[in-house]
Amino acid sequence: MNMKSARPVWLDKKIDFRAMHDTEKRLRGLDIHTVCLQARCPNISECFSRGTATFLILGNICTRGCAFCGVSSGAPMPVDRDEPSRVKEAVRRMNIGHAVITSVTRDDLADGGAGMFAATIRELKDLDGPVTVEVLVPDFQGDEDAVLRVVEAGPDIFGHNIETVPSLYKIRSNCDYGRSLKVLEYAKCCSGTMHTKSAIMLGMGETEDEVISVMRDLRGIGCDFLGIGQYLRPGNNNIPVREYIFPERFEYYKEKAIDMGFLHVESGAYVRSSYMADRYGTHGMPTPPAPLPRGEGRMKR
């Protein structure tokens, strides 16, 4: 059952600015971006108070501009080659055990920014303490070499978000549902030890059958982890919410996803792809299936 009226009472999370001070202090002077701030995430004070953040590399200006996203779009700045070392310093200062790295989409770059993802992963793997690394990448316009470059750097989790159902893909600027599936499929094909992850937002007009179909598609290409959350309009220029999903419905989708074979699922109104990312983990999880023979997961260019 869905609600199509005013914002419901269970969506009452408030940002506690005082809880953010310690993390903000640790990040001061590093000149790095977090998706927490740039995407106006409602979980920012909760995550900052836990001493964690999702780092946004390659600047804070996206070359696409999806209708649901709070990140600014336009002409991006030149690539900052020192950024990976500053992210490493931020992770060190915050004593983060599970680091999540994402980026704006950079269609202006020949490799879509894959080289900077790889450089950042290598920097984090060079830290003294044990750090698991999760990346949340764009689709690289279907460039297999870009995907392979990221995978070969050795992330523990490779994420790429499906975001919504195929019938609503017009809200994703210059994106393709099949191409996004192929990104995850090819990443899995390239590594026998790395987990893959995706996420979908609800409340934009999708049907239950469409949501279940997306989950089946993700399991069909071996996706290990799934996040399911409520779309919340980040600003007046973004598309409006069509439906508010009841908590019981999120639990229903979680049970369905677990039955399909996902290793870990987070499902709830405030779930985002990197929310409580350390819960997914990789330790103690079943080993992912063996990679597909090279060529079976090839992406269309």
Confidence of residue 285 (pLDDT cuts 50, 70, 90): low
Q: Return the pLDDT at 36.
A: 56
Q: Please give the average per-residue pLDDT across 65-92, as a whole number.
A: 87
Cβ burial 243-282 (10 Å sphere, 16+ → b, else e): bbbeeebbeebbebbeebebbbbbbbbbbbbbbbbeebbb
State yes or no: pLDDT of 128 exceeds 90: no
State yes or no: pLDDT of 245 exceeds 70: yes
Q: Return the pLDDT at 300.
A: 43
Q: Which of 22-31, 49-58, 106-115 has the lowest mean pLDDT?
A: 22-31
Do residues 134 and 274 make contact, with C-beta atoms less than 8 angstroms apart?
A: yes
State yes or no: pLDDT of 213 exceeds 90: yes
State yes or no: pLDDT of 296 exceeds 60: no
- Give CA–CA dist 26/93, Å, rounded: 6
| Higher pLDDT among residues 60 and 111, named by residue | 111
Q: Return the pLDDT at 58.
A: 95
State yes or no: pLDDT of 34 exceeds 80: no
Q: Please give the average per-residue pLDDT across 271-280, as a whole number.
A: 74
Q: Please give the average per-residue pLDDT across 85-114, as a whole number.
A: 92
State yes or no: pLDDT of 185 exceeds 60: yes
Q: Please give the average per-residue pLDDT across 255-281, as a whole number.
A: 86
Instruction: Give the pTM.
Output: 0.86
Q: What is the mean pLDDT of the chain?
A: 84
Give the closest residue to 299 by CA, choosing from 103, 112, 67, 65: 112
- Residues 131-164: tens digit of each pLDDT: 899 999 999 999 999 999 999 999 999 999 999 9
Q: Please give the average per-residue pLDDT across 289-301, as a whole number.
A: 46
- Give CA–CA dist 5/287, Å, rounded: 44
Count of helix runs (H) and strand runs (E) in the chain: 9, 10
Tokens of 58: 């390659």
Q: Return the pLDDT at 282.
A: 54
Q: Return the pLDDT at 173.
A: 78
Percent of residues, the chain, with pLDDT higher than 90: 53
Q: Return the pLDDT at 123.
A: 96
Tokens of 285: 């999880």
Name residue 274's amino acid. Answer: S
Which domains are present in the chain? 13-279 (3.20.20.70)
Confidence of residue 281 (pLDDT cuts 50, 70, 90): low
Confidence of residue 65 (pLDDT cuts 50, 70, 90): confident
Q: Please give the average per-residue pLDDT across 202-215, as a whole number.
A: 97
State yes or no: pLDDT of 286 exceeds 60: no
- Give CA–CA dist 244/201, Å, rounded: 11
